[in-house]
Chains A and B, each alone.
Chain A
Amino acid sequence: DSGVTQTPKHLITATGQRVTLRCSPRSGDLSVYWYQQSLDQGLQFLIHYYNGEERAKGNILERFSAQQFPDLHSELNLSSLELGDSALYFCASSVALTGSTEAFFGQGTRLTVV
Chain B
Amino acid sequence: AQSVTQLDSQVPVFEEAPVELRCNYSSSVSVYLFWYVQYPNQGLQLLLKYLSGSTLVKSINGFEAEFNKSQTSFHLRKPSVHISDTAEYFCAVRPVNSGNTPLVFGKGTRLSVIA
Interface of A toward B, CB cutoff 8 Å? 2, 4, 33, 35, 42-43, 45, 48, 50, 55-56, 58, 90, 92, 97-100, 102-108
Query: What's the Cα separation between A1 and B104 when bound, in Å?
Result: 23
Contacts of B43 in A (CB 8 A): 2, 4, 90, 105-108
In the complex the two chains form, is B101's CB within 8 Å of A56's CB?
yes
| B98 partner residues in chain A, CB cutoff 8 A | 97-99
In the assembly, what is the distance between CA of A99 and CA of B45, in Å?
Answer: 17
Our count of residue pairs bridging A and B at CB distance below 8 angstroms stands at 63
Q: Is the interface of B mostly helix, strand, loop or mixed?
A: loop
| Complex partner residue of B44 from A55, A90, A100, CB under 8 angstroms | A90
6 A-B pairs whose Cβ atoms sit less than 8 Å apart in the complex = A4-B43, A50-B100, A56-B101, A58-B102, A100-B32, A100-B96
